[in-house]
Structure 1
């Protein structure tokens, strides 16, 4: 059976242990503000990068679609005017707009054109859009 001396010793040991743990914990948060600040800056930078990539992708998609529309109209007009190679007009239109003609096909009186536009997004270096143009019968 323990006496008063044994009980006091256990209480004393527990108090010392609690003091050591609290001392370690008090000093453990030094520099936590710096790490939190760096993490916050990294998160904001990643979000800004994602927004910039999405914006660039959106602009390139619209540029490709607009150029495809113009190129298909140019090819359809050349076909209507009797040109031997209506796709040459589509090629000139795409190169003048900073895009690349991926495909050009004549289907009856319609011109079907696909255009590639380069992006600055690493995982989507090209966007492709297609357009069709041709005469519509007027009633």
Structure 2
């Protein structure tokens, strides 16, 4: 029995495996191309998602920055006695490529909401709010 196993392992197993490998190798011609195309497609989609997320993140930070600037400009104009502090906020917002969506005077404080355009198709604009005014010294 041992000799049969040795002979089988030495002669027949490699021959049988070789036939199986050749059989399956013939049926796999061109499958690498399909896998390559799928891999490139997945990589391109992931790159697009990362680029869109990066653009949204940058625009969110820019919207907050512009909202802070507009709120401080409006609060300064209100403190200096201007009758139209929201005009100062609007000028500041438009000067920084934003859009003033709302401006409210709350006592000595000013609250503004600013929108900034993005280059992402499903989110054409992002908005942020900011509030500014004098702080009492104690």
Which band: TM-score by shorter chain?
A: 0.7 to 0.9
CA distance in 2, matches of 1:102, 1:27: 65
Residue 111 of structure 1: SS of its match in structure 2? strand
> What is the correspondence of 1:15-34 to structure 2 with a 5 Å cutoff?
26-34=25-33
Cα offset for 1:29?
A: 1.7
1:50 maps to which residue? Answer: 49
Q: Which residue is equivalent to 1:60?
A: 59
Q: TM-score, normalised by structure 1?
A: 0.81
Question: How far apart, CA to CA, are the structure 1 residues paired with 2:28 and 2:89?
Answer: 65
Structure 1 residues 18-37: Cα deviation after superposition (integer angstroms, max 9, x where no partner): x9xx95x5543221100000
Deviation at 1:94, TM superposition (A): 0.5
Matching of residue 105 in structure 1 with residue 87 in structure 2: no
**2:130 aligned counterpart, secondary structure:** strand
* Structure-2-length-normalised TM-score: 0.81
Residue 73 (1) aligns with residue 63 (2):
no
Deviation string, structure 1 residues 80-138 (Cα, Å, up to 9, x no partner): 01111100000000101011001001000000000000111111111000000000100
C-alpha distance in 1, partners of 2:52/2:25?
A: 43
Alignment partner of 1:135: what SS?
coil
Aligned partners of 1:66, 1:80: CA distance in 2, in Å? 21
Aligned residues: 118
Q: CA RMSD in A?
A: 1.5
Determine whether 1:126 maps to 2:120.
no
Q: Which runs of 5+ in 1 are unaligned?
A: 1-18
Could you tell me how far apart the structure 1 residues matched to 2:25 and 2:44 are? 31
What SS does structure 1 have at the residue aligned with 2:48? helix
